[in-house]
């Protein structure tokens, strides 16, 4: 902040986006009410060392350091501000003394101070307790894109200008006729909507997306002090790491460095696309993963992006603004842009595909790399991607599933047995060769999901221990003590639907004389929880069949659903 801006703010006085605090006796408790209301409303500037009437009081020089530290600490404390939102506290000099100021952006989250939501009206912070008003605040936030925040004092000269040449070099490889090859830096920024004017406020300038894509490390650190991407390899040393890449730099270099680092940890495997060209599956998988964690990150969130490379999988945990909570259904989910301008920019560089295709492509490439294992994506406050790189196939363990469900090999049939053998167990079960141990582990996985699948009314004996099970002689006795009949039938239906099957065939195999009993008691609950589905949208079609979903397979295999 320079003297001109300070004078303008003092002349303008307190309002919707300006707040003065005297702060003569430490940090005023109302400061965090204002931070919260600015984050929730439309952002603003808080000046400390100024009275309500714009009289400049100044701050005690000896207290400046403590004031700064107290504010920064509080903004990182979820008991004070939730979700946390780290902000820099800066000094500005006035003839009457030194002042502190905090620039607060509009956040895409709804924030609370001491578990209370605040909003801004004129020059006041007020508590939001009315349910309709709270719902309206959440609705307002849905269309806010953090990347569009304007920084009017950020200039093109503050950016890392060499990155524009790197972008042109990339474009020359993928599109020799692209207009940006001859365009000025400013033209590129305007075309990419990284230099924009807000027609609601009249404000014009470079956006957060511009700073993230083209900013120097100093610029990025000043705007987003908590931002980082932390990539850890944990194969031998599970407490710390074997190798590490920590990134706090621009998105262009972050993409290139992260992709190269993760790829280097896995062996090459090649894939032939529709044109007959051989491509490295590692490149295809991790291009999507790295692109997703950069493009779809919620940059208002102070948590880091973490990528952990294990012996058999890669897991990524990315700050997120969730639309729902739970695993994605890859067949039905609809993607929603988190940072559409960053995504469009990466699309120009061919580092990103059309929205929604990345997750589906990764699923296809992971299956090809592993020989059958699917990735899992879980939407929550942090978006979690679990990318298996090694398949632990059921193989001869298929016989355990027959024992648990009381099905015979003839009832399940050769084709379904081969299908079952090729399914992939959850990696946590990979070392369990003893069937009793595996049965106990699967029982535990199904038990954990009872609350989530309440309509199934799973009946499971969760008191039987591995030692107890070992003492039982036959699997007829073991399955009876592990799983009650209802649960065994539900599991049998899932096994039988690994290939499409009619209700008549199911009833015949399972011994049900009345199809309605089977439909109401078992098939409808399984459908309502998306573990099985129709093969034909029209429910009453004479050719209707049932088939298991990927969610149903995950349930059978002891994985996340």
Gap between the terminal Cα atoms of the chain: 51
- Spell out the domains of the chain, with CATH numbers in brackets: 3-144 (3.30.950.30), 156-223 (no CATH), 229-388 (3.30.565.60), 395-556 (no CATH)
String of DSSP letters for 369-394? HHTS---EEEESSEEEEEEE-S--B-
> Residue 318: helix, strand or coil by DSSP?
strand
In this structure, what is the dihedral angle of CA atoms 522, 523, 525, 531, given to the nearest 10 degrees? 120
Segments in 76-205 forming alpha helices (H): 131-141, 162-174, 185-191
pLDDT digits (tens, 9 = 90+) for 43-97: 899 999 999 889 999 998 888 888 988 998 888 888 999 888 878 888 998 888 8
Distance CA 456, CA 165 (A): 59
Torsion angle of the four alpha carbons 535, 538, 542, 548, in this order, in degrees rounded to the nearest 10 = 20
Q: How far is CA 510 from CA 160, 408, 541, in A?
A: 68, 11, 22
The predicted pLDDT at position 200 comes to 65
How far, in Å, are 166, 177, 284, 314, 433 from residue 351 at the CA level?
Answer: 14, 18, 10, 20, 42
The first and second tokens of residue 181, run together, are 């090859």
- Across 234-375, the runs of DSSP E, i.e. the strands, are 243-247, 270-272, 278-280, 305-309, 313-319, 326-327
Residue 182, classified by CB atoms within 10 Å of its CB into exposed (0-12), middle (13-18) or buried (19+), is: exposed
- Helix segments in 422-502, DSSP class H: 435-448, 466-471, 475-482, 485-496
DSSP 3-state of 349:
coil
Query: What is residue 111's three-state secondary structure?
Result: coil
pLDDT score for 354: 65
Integer Cα distance of 561 and 552 in angstroms: 8
What pLDDT, on a 0 to 100 scale, did the predictor assign at position 201?
A: 72
Span 275-297, pLDDT tens digits: 788 989 999 999 999 999 999 89
Rounded Cα–Cα distance for residues 67 and 86 (Å): 15
Q: Do residues 216 and 160 make contact, with C-beta atoms less than 8 angstroms apart?
A: yes
**pLDDT tens-place values along the chain, 561 residues long:** 888 889 889 988 999 999 999 988 889 989 999 999 999 988 899 999 999 889 999 998 888 888 988 998 888 888 999 888 878 888 998 888 899 999 888 887 889 999 999 999 988 999 999 988 898 888 777 667 888 888 989 999 999 999 999 999 999 998 888 889 999 999 999 999 899 887 767 889 999 999 999 999 999 999 998 899 999 999 999 999 999 999 999 999 999 999 999 999 999 999 887 778 898 999 999 999 999 999 989 898 888 999 999 999 999 999 988 877 788 877 667 667 688 889 889 988 989 876 667 788 888 899 999 988 889 998 888 999 999 999 999 999 999 999 999 999 999 999 999 999 999 999 888 888 799 999 999 999 999 999 899 999 998 887 888 888 888 888 988 988 889 999 999 999 999 999 999 999 999 999 999 999 999 999 999 999 999 999 998 888 989 999 999 899 999 999 988
* CA gap 500, 486 in Å, rounded: 22
Asked if 238 and 314 touch (Cβ cutoff 8 Å), the reply is no
CA-CA distance, 12 to 204, in Å (whole number)? Answer: 19
Long-range contacts formed by 521-528: CB under 8 A, 24+ apart = 522/489, 522/490, 522/493, 523/493, 525/455, 525/456, 525/457, 525/490, 526/456, 526/490, 526/493, 526/494, 526/552, 528/455
Extended strands (E) in 38-181: 44-48, 81-82, 90-94, 97-104, 112-113, 116-121, 124-127, 150-151
CB-based contact 412:404 (threshold 8 Å): no
d(CA 246, CA 261): 11
* C-beta neighbour count of 213 within 10 angstroms: 27
């Amino acid at each position: 902040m320079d003297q001109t801006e300070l004078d303008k703010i003092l002349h303008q006085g307190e309002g919707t986006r300006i707040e003065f605090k005297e702060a003569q006796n430490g940090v005023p408790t109302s400061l965090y009410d204002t931070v919260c209301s600015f984050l929730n409303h439309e952002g603003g500037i808080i000046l400390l060392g100024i009275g309500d009437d714009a009289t400049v009081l100044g701050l005690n020089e000896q207290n400046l350091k403590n004031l700064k530290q107290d504010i920064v600490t509080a903004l990182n404390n979820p008991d004070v501000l939730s979700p946390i939102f780290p902000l820099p506290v800066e000094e500005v000099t006035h003839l009457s003394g030194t002042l502190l100021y905090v620039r607060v952006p509009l956040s895409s989250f709804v924030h609370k101070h001491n578990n209370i939501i605040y909003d801004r009206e004129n020059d006041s912070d007020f508590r939001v307790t009315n349910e309709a008003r709270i719902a309206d605040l959440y609705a307002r936030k849905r269309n806010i894109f953090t990347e569009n925040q304007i920084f009017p004092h950020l200039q093109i000269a503050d950016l890392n200008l060499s990155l524009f040449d790197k972008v042109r070099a990339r474009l020359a490889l993928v599109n020799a006729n692209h207009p940006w090859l001859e365009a000025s830096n400013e033209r590129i920024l305007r075309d990419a909507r990284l230099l924009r004017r807000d027609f609601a406020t009249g404000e014009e300038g470079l956006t957060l997306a511009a700073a993230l894509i083209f900013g120097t490390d100093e610029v990025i650190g000043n705007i987003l002090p908590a931002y980082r991407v932390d990539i850890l390899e944990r194969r031998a040393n599970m407490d710390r790491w074997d190798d590490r890449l920590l990134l706090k730099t621009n998105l262009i270099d972050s993409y290139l460095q992260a992709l190269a680092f993760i790829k280097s940890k896995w062996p090459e495997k090649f894939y032939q696309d529709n044109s007959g060209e051989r491509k490295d599956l590692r490149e295809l998988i991790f291009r999507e993963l790295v692109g997703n964690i950069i493009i779809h990150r919620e940059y208002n969130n102070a948590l880091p992006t973490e990528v952990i490379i294990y012996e058999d999988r890669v897991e990524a945990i990315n700050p997120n603004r969730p639309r729902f909570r739970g695993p994605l259904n890859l067949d039905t989910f609809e993607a929603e842009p988190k940072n559409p301008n960053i995504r469009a920019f990466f699309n120009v560089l061919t580092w990103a595909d059309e929205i929604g295709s990345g997750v589906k492509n990764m699923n296809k490439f992971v299956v090809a790399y592993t020989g059958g294992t699917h990735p899992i994506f879980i939407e929550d406050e942090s978006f979690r991607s679990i990318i298996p790189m090694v398949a632990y196939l059921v193989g001869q363990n298929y016989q355990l599933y027959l024992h648990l469900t009381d099905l015979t090999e003839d009832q399940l049939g050769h084709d379904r047995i081969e299908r079952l053998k090729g399914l992939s167990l959850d990696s946590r079960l990979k070392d369990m060769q003893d069937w009793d141990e595996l049965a106990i582990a699967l029982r535990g996985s199904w038990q954990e999901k009872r609350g989530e699948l309440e309509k199934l009314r799973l009946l499971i004996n969760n008191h039987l221990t591995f030692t107890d099970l070992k003492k039982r002689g036959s699997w007829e006795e073991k399955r009876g003590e592990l799983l009650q009949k209802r649960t065994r039938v539900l599991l049998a239906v899932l096994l039988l639907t690994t290939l499409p099957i009619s209700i008549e065939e199911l009833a015949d195999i399972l011994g049900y004389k009345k199809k309605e009993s089977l439909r109401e008691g078992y098939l409808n609950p399984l459908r309502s929880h998306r573990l099985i589905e129709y093969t034909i949208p029209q429910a009453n079609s004479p050719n209707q069949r049932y088939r298991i979903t990927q969610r149903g397979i995950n349930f059978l295999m002891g994985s996340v659903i």
